[in-house]
């Protein structure tokens, strides 16, 4: 566990501090947006958490996707651990998105959710896939059949990632489009981009720490399980 604390604790600590600093800068330092273009201009400040949560959640679903492929190709415990961690992290950061988004929607649109918006609903489905996987892993007996089924669901879930990412470009509903570069249309200030990217980097660091921690915990559980099996075998002799 000393190796775990040496690698994980600094990552998680830096990530949490960076996320808090992002919130402070977003609420008290970042400039206001054009009040003529928004119904609730001050509510936009939640994007400094909302958008980075969404970006990092896609990394989690990428781990889920790669883990599913590793599981089917190699039948390795490493692949299954990736599926598990990807599901857990996808759920955690996905909830960050689906909680923060409706807060902004309620202020800007007057309703927390728009059932006609493609991005909102595909992302909600993506988070629901992660929730289903996490609950199934905790309720179903572990075995190859269970792993095959859940890995297949994980592959299906990843298909929703590019659909969600491109939704506002292909189907422009209420949800704002992807805005990264400052133009005359977007009017995005350099200070806004700075805080936004600080939030993204901070959550990525936190994500790396949580992934490392979960991987070490899974490794420790396997070691304990192997030792228990060995003790049981010796007691039967």
Contacts of 12 (CB under 8 A, 6+ apart): 206, 209, 210, 213
What is the C-alpha to C-alpha distance for residues 156 and 89, in angstroms, rounded to an integer?
17
What is the C-alpha to C-alpha distance for residues 9 and 7, in angstroms, rounded to an integer?
6
Domain residues of the chain, as ranges?
1-31+189-211, 49-175
Write the Ramachandran bin of 187: left for phi over 0, alpha for psi from -120 to 50, otherwise beta. left
Cα first-last separation, the chain: 33
* pTM listed for this prediction: 0.86
For the chain, 237 residues long, give each residue's pLDDT as a single digit of tens.
445 557 899 999 999 999 999 999 998 998 887 777 777 878 888 989 999 999 999 999 999 999 999 999 988 889 999 999 999 999 999 999 999 988 988 888 888 887 877 788 888 999 999 999 999 999 998 889 999 999 999 998 888 888 887 765 555 565 665 554 444 554 567 888 899 999 999 999 999 999 999 998 888 887 887 777 677 666 666
């Amino acid at each position: 566990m000393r190796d775990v604390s040496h690698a994980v604790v600094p990552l998680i600590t830096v990530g949490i501090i960076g996320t808090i600093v992002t919130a402070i800068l977003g609420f008290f330092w970042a400039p206001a947006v054009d009040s003529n273009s928004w119904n609730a201009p001050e509510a936009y400040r939640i994007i400094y958490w909302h958008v980075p949560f969404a970006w990092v959640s896609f990394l989690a679903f990428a781990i889920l996707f790669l883990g599913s492929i590793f599981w089917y190709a190699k039948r390795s415990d490493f692949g299954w651990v990736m599926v598990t961690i990807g599901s857990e992290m996808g759920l955690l950061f996905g909830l960050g998105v689906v909680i923060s988004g409706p807060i902004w929607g309620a202020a800007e649109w007057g309703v927390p959710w728009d059932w006609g918006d493609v991005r909102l609903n595909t992302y909600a489905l993506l988070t629901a896939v992660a929730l289903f996987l996490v609950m199934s892993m905790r309720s179903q007996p572990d075995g190859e059949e269970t792993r095959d089924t859940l890995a297949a669901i994980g592959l299906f879930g990843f298909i929703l990632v590019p659909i969600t990412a491109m939704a506002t470009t292909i189907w422009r509903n209420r949800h704002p489009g992807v805005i990264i570069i400052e133009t005359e249309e977007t009017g995005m200030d350099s200070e806004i981009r700075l805080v936004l990217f600080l939030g993204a980097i901070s959550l990525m660091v936190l994500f790396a720490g949580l992934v490392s921690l979960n991987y070490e915990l899974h490794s420790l559980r396997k070691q304990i399980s192997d030792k228990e099996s060995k003790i049981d075998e010796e007691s039967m002799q």
